[in-house]
Amino acid sequence: MRACFTASLVLLAACAAHPQATGPERPAEARAQGAFWPPAVQTGKLPIPAERTRAIEALEKEVEAALNAKDAKRAAALFAPGYGDVENWAGKVFPHALAPFDFKVETLFPAGAGVVCMIDIFMPKYAKGGYARYQWGKPVYLGPGEKGRWCVQKYPPPGMPQPRLVAIEALVWLAPEREWMRAEAEVRVEPRGQQVLIFELAAHAPHSDGGLRVSEVRDSSGRPLVYMAHGETLAVQLAELADSVELRFRYEGEPPQHKSDYLTAEEIHLRGDGRWLPLLPDTQARFDLTVRYPEGYTLFGQGDRLSDQALASAPGWREARWTMREEDMYSLYGAREYVHKRFRGGQAELTVALWPRHKDRLEKVGSTAARLMEGLEALLGPYPFKHLRVVETGYNDGRSGYGALTNVSLGWRNLAEEIEEDFFAHEFSHGWWGGQVPSAPEASSRGQWSETLAEYTCSLVLDEAKALEKRKSWSEGYARLPAKIEKPMMEVGTRSAHWGLHHGVTYQRGALVMTALEDRLGREAMKKLLRAFIRERSGKQSTWRDFLACLTEESGREKAEWLLHWLETKGAPALKLEGVKASGEKVSGAIAQADTDFTGEVQLGFYQGDALLGVERVPYGPGERAFELALPAGAELLVVDPLFRTPRRYDPNADRLEAGQAARLAP
């Protein structure tokens, strides 16, 4: 693949001798100078069968009739049952579009038994008059649902085979001062019966203003293919189906410019989510990336860096190459100036790169990262990659970091305060969860186990005070998640839920469930389970089902069935103290659970003032479970789950005594 790819780069190689041609400052100038590759095949709409057009028109009329009758719930039930977001449509979108109303489905191309489309809704603005445009952020699938009725579904819908991206090899030319890039990428894909492939690329039609403009897509024989750029997707129609195809893309222009992804004269921050490389959703591929960039910049790519040297054919330019095994996206960071140093964290080589104004934090960041990595290696085994890089960036206005395998960005504002050890530990642990044990494609929509394990694992390498604070944030965060929007962990992931739901269910509730599992197994047995899962599933795409199989093997069916119940069920017990009485050296009472049937154990803590004197574990189940415990001398208060180790529902803002979360121990 590389020999064929290299031969195709004559044009880009020629540009090396004339760097000024790599990125005119404005699209109009580019057209005038002929700097764009001429499009081989103009984009256009792909033909839609007539019967599908009629089905769409019928659905539009039904939805509009329901809205004209001011029945947003019916409209949403007609329109979005397959999307799993009916409440959002009924409660947030359609009510504001009742009058006046304009609803438009723009069909893009046929897929399966339906079509892929974009949806526009025009609705009254809240204050300024006129109309506001609500557009679904990405193409969706409109086709027959479970009962044959057409409705909106995520693409690809259940049951439709999803194409797989196997490998991508790209040459990228960056001109940061002009906020410009040019790329030629060759990808290998298994279409799995789909003749139209939807790539995630911030693509626009040739000669459009702004964005990355795609000039051509060809197959391995050099044959130009019909394609369509829309929003941040690129649809490509294959000339013929095959088990495996190779496609070559050419595009250039301005990559996305926002808080998360940008290319500026001062900094380069291109995440996989930034759609600057043509990728397929929910698949993992091998990356081979060559980047040419001006002297004076330092770049950090993912994976193994094979080379970084001056480009002999173009004075003032450098060329770096990285390879990365089995990843679903690729991130690249860089800036004009860095101070950087290498540290050793267990068997991993760490590089920490900070901006010069924060050079006084270099040792602290490096030693913290090394200590956390040593803790993770002691827990999980050797770090699966040769290198790990921590790079300061302006991501999200410097307020937060972003984790990618082997490449972690750290917001500059974080350096002005205490280093967020939990963020480091979470992102580092993805070297094992999602790295050494890859996540199956479906997990990003239905049970994102890698995020749950990364969040839980981070608490195991923090000191007890920070671990307690972390668990408290999980407990209170999950308790605040509205119960009406909650879904089971097996139904939630990055691609199937908004961030608030995903964070509350996958991260916070999920980490608490794993903490409760640890309490059932014991800390050492839990460590053994994690290492066994890594050993058994190394290099194999995995889901929660694989983790359950490992749990069954290590600890028995009963423990696995307990965890499965938590994975497949939404909610958590609302535990309360009832009838607590202290008498002599004993305290008695009951743990009550209403309306749910979870079983487990919860800690009860004895306090004297602010001092925790001790904890005891008691069982809970449906209804009430009585307990009788020894009463420590001086104990004044009994508190439910004092160390935040149990997933539960409660009001974090309520008075603990009034809410049954605590009871006084007066004789």
Q: How far apart are CA 26 and CA 254, in angstroms?
A: 9
Least confident of 30-44, 145-159, 404-418, 598-612: 30-44
pLDDT band at 11 (very low <50, low <70, confident <90, very high): very low
Q: Which residues contact 111 (CB under 8 A, 6 or more apart)?
A: 141, 143, 155, 156, 160, 194, 196
Please, which pLDDT band fits residue 25 given cuts at 50, 70 and 90?
very low
Q: Are 443 and 543 in contact (CB under 8 A)?
A: yes
Instruction: Give the C-alpha separation, 274 to 265, whole Å.
Output: 18
Looking at the chain, the whole-number percentage of residues with pLDDT higher than 70 is 83
Q: Band the pLDDT of 248: cuts 50, 70, 90.
A: very high
Region 604-609 average pLDDT: 96
pLDDT band, very low/low/confident/very high, at 640 (cuts 50, 70, 90): very high
Peptide bond into 156 cis (omega under 30): yes
Residue 488 confidence (pLDDT): 95
Q: Write the CA distances from 384 to 325, 343, 381, integer angstroms.
A: 11, 17, 8
Confidence label for 55 from pLDDT (cuts 50, 70 and 90): confident
Asked whether residue 430 carries a pLDDT value surpassing 60, the answer given is yes
Q: What is the pLDDT at residue 94?
A: 53
Instruction: Give the mean pLDDT of 250-274.
Output: 87
**Which range among 401-405, 493-497, 634-638 shows the weakest confidence by mean pLDDT?**
493-497
Mean pLDDT, to the nearest integer, of 463-481? 96
**Which pLDDT score, from 0 to 100, does residue 443 have?**
86
Per-residue pLDDT at 97 exceeds 70: no
Q: What is the pLDDT of residue 1?
A: 58
pLDDT of amino acid 626: 96
Please determine, for residue 431, whether its predicted confidence score (pLDDT) is greater than 70.
yes
Looking at the predicted structure, is the pLDDT value of residue 471 above 90? Answer: yes
For 179, the token pair is: 């906020």
Which of 468, 667, 661, 480 shows the shortest CA–CA distance to 585?
667
Q: Given a cut of 50, is residue 318 above it in pLDDT? A: yes
Between residues 500 and 105, the one the model is more confident about: 500
Among 50-64, 205-219, 537-551, name the one with the lowest average pLDDT: 205-219
Query: Which of 99-108, 303-312, 477-486, 586-595 is predicted least confidently?
Result: 99-108
Average pLDDT, the chain: 84
Question: What secondary structure does DSSP assign to 301-334, as a single string?
Answer: ESSEEEEEEE-TTSTTEEEEEEEEEEES---EEE
Which amino acid type is present at position 284?
Q
Which pLDDT tens digit goes with each residue over 393-427?
988 888 878 888 889 888 887 776 678 899 999 99
Q: What is the pLDDT of residue 124?
A: 47
DSSP class of 120: E
Residue 91 has a pLDDT of 52
pLDDT at 404: 84
- Predicted confidence (pLDDT) at residue 90 exceeds the cutoff of 60: no
Lowest average pLDDT, out of 99-113, 218-232, 369-383, 608-622, goes to: 99-113
Of the CA atoms within 13 Å of residue 183, those in its CB half-sphere come to 30
State the pLDDT confidence band at 557, using cuts at 50, 70 and 90.
very high
Q: Which residue has the higher pLDDT, 83 or 149?
A: 149
Cα separation, 437 vs 443, whole angstroms = 13
Per-residue model confidence as pLDDT tens digits over 381-401: 999 998 899 999 988 888 878
User: For 3-58, what is the HEC assignment?
Assistant: HHHHHCCHHHHHHHCCHHHHCCCCHHHHHHHCCCCCCCCCCCCCCCCHHHHHHHHH
| Range of weakest confidence among 80-94, 181-195, 216-230 | 80-94
- Predicted confidence (pLDDT) at residue 255 exceeds the cutoff of 70: yes
Q: Where are the beta strands (DSSP E) in 57-193?
A: 102-111, 114-124, 131-135, 140-144, 150-153, 164-175, 180-190
Q: How confident is the model at residue 85 (pLDDT cuts 50, 70, 90)?
A: low
Amino acid occupying residue 379: L
Selected residue with higher pLDDT from 493 and 613: 613
8 Å CB contact between 218 and 232: no
Residue 205 has pLDDT above 70, yes or no: no
Q: Phi and psi for 315 in degrees, rounded to 5?
A: -55, 140
Instruction: Categorise residue 179: left if φ over 0, alpha if ψ from -120 to 50, beta otherwise.
Output: left
Give the pLDDT band of residue 507 (cuts 50, 70, 90). Answer: very high
pLDDT of residue 45: 58
User: pTM for this one?
Assistant: 0.81
What is the Cα–Cα distance from 507 to 475, expressed in whole angstroms? 11
DSSP 440: P
pLDDT the model gives residue 273: 78
Which two structure tokens, joined as six digits, stand for 385? Answer: 């990659």
Secondary structure class of 358 (helix, strand, coil): helix
The pLDDT score that the predictor gives to residue 441 is: 80
The answer to whether residue 98 scores a pLDDT higher than 60 is no
Position 155 confidence tier, pLDDT thresholds 50, 70, 90: confident
Highest mean pLDDT: which range of 137-146, 464-473, 483-492: 464-473
Q: Averaged over 33-45, what is the pLDDT? A: 41
pLDDT at residue 468, rounded to an integer: 97
